[in-house]
Amino acid sequence: MRYSQIDKQLFVKNREKFRQYLKPNSLAVLNSNDIMPTSADGHFAFQQHSDIFYLSGIDQEESILVIFPDFVDGGHREILFLRETNEEIAVWEGEKLSKEQAREVSGIQTIYWLQDFPRVWRELVFQAENIYLNTNEHLRASVDVETRDARFLRWCMEKHPLHKYERLQPILHRIRAVKSEEEIALIRNACQITEQGFRRLLSFVKPNVWEYEIEAELIHEFVRSRSKGFAYTPIIASGANACVLHYIENNKQCKDGDLLLLDIAAEYANYNSDLTRCIPVNGRFTPRQKAVYNAVLRVHDEAKKLLAVGNNWTDYHKEVGKIMESELIGLGLLKKHDIEKQNPAAPLYKKYFPHGTSHHLGLNVHDYGNKYHTFEAGMVFTCEPGIYIREEGLGIRIENDIVIRANGQEDLMATIPITVEEIEELMNA
């Protein structure tokens, strides 16, 4: 991996938290992601499943993690199964993790090669009353391919139909939502890499530059800082493209007078950042662009104060909606008397601000967390209000990454230029 090795104690502590939620005499199994094919003999770059990474730190395909806290043999309460290097793999792909390297990465002492799984599994499974299996239960998930976890689930339930089966996801959504200081440090590192990329753009963007050239500048900066690259497909949207929320073509030329929306961020060690800024292509905001930008910035600054211990998802978004309504009235986009008569289930501000203000952030860009749980210290959220005026071809979104602390918030992107004055000064230096 490009990133510096993470202290294995992070994964040791994660497994300790995880075990506390298992029922007595239970066995849990987690699988790596597949390497996904393209066509012919091609494949996409491997991306590890965030759950097995969270609990082991193992960043290698075809790995299996088994956790059985109550197993009679103490040496088999945590087991990793790994792909063994042979001569052909060593020549064509490079050596895989050795058992000793896997111990140093994960803190797990019992390591087997993958071919030993059937034998060891039989020793374990008939001593377990419950088997915890993994499925994707993210509310925004859309899964059209069969995953390795799904294949294992089907195989396991066919082989062992009389066991009791439990869901892993509720546990993982609970414990992964609250980040440790070690995890926050990794997200902070990703944010710092993102800042380097954004600052690079402020001296690069000029009229007639192409959106894909901007993308190229960012990937250069991210990769040279030991990132795999973008945390998600970048949105580099000039002019009216900014009103398309998930515009990813990045193939237009940036014109003099355009505003450029940049939803771009780096990952580091599988942890993600998430940044959005809007900058004027020619280095100067027009009066209208400035007015809308400052309105969004005021919503952003007020909204992040509401990311506080004890608040909840529903009340948070209702309050942000009220703040946005006030700003839209000030911009002449809504009228107060129309708001007073609106259907509360379909607020008028949604025409100009159709998406949510925040999402959990971590090993997934839209990370785990139960929307019905109150906010806790250690949760990391984005804060990303926006105003999109399609009639004017103007879209503005501002986004920072916020850690909820016991006595307030920590803005992980506090040093990234955000005000009109900062951006104009740096673009015209």
Predicted pLDDT at 1: 82
Higher pLDDT residue, 38 or 204?
204
Given a contact cutoff of 8 angstroms between Cβ atoms, the answer to whether 428 and 421 are in contact is no
pLDDT of residue 87 exceeding 90, the answer is no
Residue 1 lies in a domain: no
| Mean pLDDT value of segment 76-85 | 95
| Mean pLDDT value of segment 154-163 | 97
What is the tens place of the pLDDT at every residue in 46-65? 999 999 999 999 999 999 99
Same domain, 219 and 170: no
Residue 390 lies in a domain: yes
pLDDT of residue 37 exceeding 90, the answer is no
The alpha carbon dihedral of 244, 250, 256, 261 has a sign of: positive
Same domain, 172 and 190: no
Same domain, 143 and 207: no
| Mean pLDDT value of segment 254-261 | 98
Higher pLDDT residue, 37 or 284?
284
Predicted pLDDT at 93: 84
Domain end call among 153, 176, 199 = 176
Same domain, 79 and 109: yes
Residue 4 lies in a domain: no
What is the tens place of the pLDDT at every residue in 131-153? 999 998 888 878 888 899 999 99
Residue 2 lies in a domain: no
**CATH number for the domain including 421?**
3.90.230.10
Same domain, 193 and 167: no
3-class SS of residue 6:
coil
Percent share of the chain, pLDDT over 70: 100
Same domain, 266 and 406: yes
Predicted pLDDT at 137: 84
What is the tens place of the pLDDT at every residue in 97-139? 999 999 999 999 999 999 999 999 999 999 999 999 999 888 8
Same domain, 200 and 163: no
Same domain, 242 and 310: yes
Residue 346 lies in a domain: yes
Q: Which residue bears the tokens 């395909």?
A: 61
Confidence of residue 171 (pLDDT cuts 50, 70, 90): very high
Paired with 133 in beta bridges are 167
3-class SS of residue 166:
strand
Domain end call among 135, 155, 176 = 176
Closest CA to 79 of 34, 28, 127: 28
**Torsions phi, psi for 149 (to 5 deg):** -60, -40
Predicted pLDDT at 70: 97
Q: What is the CB neighbour count within 10 angstroms for residue 173?
A: 20
Residue 3 lies in a domain: no
Query: Which parts of 75-234 fold into alpha helices (H)?
Result: 87-92, 99-106, 117-125, 148-159, 169-176, 181-202, 211-223
> What's the whole-number average pLDDT of the chain?
96
Sheet hosting strand 78-82, strand order edge to edge: 110-113, 78-82, 64-67, 26-31, 130-133, 164-167
Residue 92 lies in a domain: yes
Same domain, 167 and 210: no
Domain end call among 132, 155, 176 = 176
Same domain, 189 and 91: no
Residue 333 lies in a domain: yes
pTM of the predicted model, to two decimals? 0.96
Same domain, 259 and 157: no
How many structural domains compose the chain? 2
Same domain, 214 and 361: yes
pLDDT of residue 317 exceeding 90, the answer is yes
Max distance between CA atoms of the chain, in angstroms, equals 75
CB burial of residue 223 (10 Å; 0-12, 13-18, 19+):
middle
| Mean pLDDT value of segment 273-298 | 98
Given a contact cutoff of 8 angstroms between Cβ atoms, the answer to whether 8 and 106 are in contact is yes
171, HSE (Cβ side, Cα atoms, 13 Å):
22
Predicted pLDDT at 41: 84
118: containing domain: 9-176
Contacts of 248 (CB under 8 A, 6+ apart): 233, 234, 235
**CATH number for the domain including 31?**
3.40.350.10
